[in-house]
Amino acid sequence: MKQTQIGFLQLAHRLQKPTDQITPEPLIKKLHITARKETTHHMRDGEVVLYLRPDSKVWQVRYKLFDRKWRCVSTRHRQLEWAKKVAVEMYDRARFREEEGLPQKSVRFATLANECIRVLKVEIERGIRANTNMDYIRAMNNYLIPFFGKMNLTNITPQKVAEYEAWRNLKMKRIPISSTLANHSSAYNRIIDLAIQQGWLSDKVGIPRLSRKGKKGSPRPAFTQDELTKLLDYMPKWCLMAERKNHIEMRQLLRDYVELLLTTGMRSGRESMNMKWKHIEWYSDGKTDVRYLRIWVSGKTGGRWLIAKHRAAEALTRLAQRQRVGANLDEAIEAKSDSYVFSLSTGQHPTSMHTSFELLLKDSAMRVDPITGKNRSLYSLRHCYATLALMDGQMDMHTVAKQMGTSVGMLEKHYSKLTATMAAEQLA
């Protein structure tokens, strides 16, 4: 018999050995260990490990970064050599992103913007900067998301920002004024800040920002001192010119509303309309014993105390008597009523006074500001408060800013032309 045949017979004989003569258990464990090692490969001094899962033929890679945490990712390759190459490339890219402060996972702009909108809506519900936040939401939905939505934050370049600004101008069909650009820039920055807070972006990464320089805004419509005097003198007669009782009371409410805006500088709309009697109190100066009306308001910039001019007491007294919250202002303040200050005797609380004010301006022939050619609005009263306060010289810009719930920078932006006039006595 040939040697080959003898070899096969010996093999067959060995295979027919009883079960008690099979490979010892320690040897089996050794063989298993050897097989496991063949499915695991270490690279880069053990920082990168390539391995196969028992239920998969695709190579996986895990690696450590500076934080010493393992990251596990699929190479998507079955061939070992290709998997090794991909694993090393993944590790190098991850190290680079870590050193540069870049996130390991990219996030689309739209995802961040929508999350930012959710946060802004929560703030609005809590009474935080409602008007400003609504402006931000509109800027995001109408401009920022449509253009940047599909991009990753780290892919936004100065060139893309320039393209966006050109696209926005075409969509708006005009060159935006500075205040509009400031609003869009602030909305954009809110998204970037949120990305940094959530760890999706490092503060080391220089994301290009939007320009805030635009067309200079035109002067705001206002009233002169003489025009205000005429308007205040006209309103009592105008109230009685209404034919119906409820119309008369609505005009009376508007008269008190106008006087309160002029004597406090508070914002028209939510800030003033949400004021309640419990928000008003007397404040006495310990040195002079002079009483001042102190009012708590909450609006665009949060809550703040403001001091009303003394003549504001007349309007508040009329309101208290019509609403029967007190025979006089002292009783109304002491009652600490939860009812709205600007409401009718029936308890009805108007949501806005804009329509009534427009009717007043029309009837008094004061709708248009002859200087700017623009229609006046309730905001014109706030503008007048700031102008007269600064021109009077009794208050500095910091005090006026605190009273009105705005910034010194904003006042300087809109009223810088007054600074020389204010210092005329010193300059002449």
> CA 95 to CA 64: how far, in whole Å?
9
- 117 and 58 share one domain: no
> CA 74 to CA 61: how far, in whole Å?
6
E strand or H helix at 63: strand 59-64
- 83 and 155 share one domain: no
DSSP states along 167-233: HHHHHHTSPPBHHHHHHHHHHHHHHHHHHHHTTSS-TTS-PPPPP---BPPPPPP---HHHHHHHHH
**Which pLDDT score, from 0 to 100, does residue 131 have?**
78
- 166 and 310 share one domain: no
Q: Is residue 17 part of a domain?
A: no
CATH classification of the domain holding 245:
1.10.443.10
Q: Is residue 384 part of a domain?
A: yes
Q: How many domains does the chain have?
A: 3
Q: Is residue 9 part of a domain?
A: no
- Sequence-distant (6+) residues with CB within 8 A of 400 are 265, 386, 389, 390, 411
Strand 280-284 and strand 70-74: pairing?
unpaired
- 287 and 422 share one domain: yes
Strand 59-64 and strand 40-43: pairing?
unpaired
E strand or H helix at 166: helix 158-172
Q: Is residue 143 part of a domain?
A: yes
**Which pLDDT score, from 0 to 100, does residue 24 have?**
52
- 265 and 404 share one domain: yes
- Last-in-domain residue among 197, 217, 241: 197
Q: Which two tokens stand for residue 195?
A: 């990305």
- 163 and 254 share one domain: no
- 145 and 285 share one domain: no
Q: Is residue 23 part of a domain?
A: no
**Which pLDDT score, from 0 to 100, does residue 152 have?**
84
> CA 96 to CA 87: how far, in whole Å?
14
Whole-angstrom CA distances from 2 to 7, 9, 130, 141 are 9, 11, 99, 88
**Which pLDDT score, from 0 to 100, does residue 190 have?**
92
Q: Which domain holds residue 308?
A: 225-427
DSSP states along 360-375: HHHHTT-SB-TTT-PB
Among residues 177, 122, 178, 171, the alpha carbon closest in space to that of 145 is found at: 171
- Last-in-domain residue among 99, 129, 147: 99
Q: Is residue 7 part of a domain?
A: no
- 344 and 322 share one domain: yes
Q: Is residue 334 part of a domain?
A: yes
- Last-in-domain residue among 157, 178, 197: 197
- 67 and 154 share one domain: no
- 235 and 367 share one domain: yes
- Sequence-distant (6+) residues with CB within 8 A of 51 are 39, 40, 41, 59, 60, 61, 62
> Per-residue confidence of the chain (428 residues) as pLDDT tens digits?
444 444 444 544 444 444 444 445 554 444 444 444 468 888 887 788 888 988 888 888 888 776 666 778 788 888 888 888 888 887 777 776 666 555 556 678 999 999 999 999 998 888 788 878 899 999 999 999 999 999 887 788 888 888 998 899 889 888 888 888 889 999 999 998 888 787 677 666 667 888 887 655 567 788 988 999 999 999 999 999 999 999 999 999 999 999 999 999 999 988 999 999 999 999 998 788 899 999 999 877 788 999 999 999 999 999 999 999 999 999 999 999 999 999 999 999 998 899 999 999 999 999 999 888 889 999 999 999 988 888 776 788 888 888 998 887 777 767 766 555 444 444 34
- 322 and 386 share one domain: yes
59-64: strand order across its sheet: 40-43, 48-52, 59-64, 70-74
- 387 and 341 share one domain: yes
Q: Is residue 10 part of a domain?
A: no
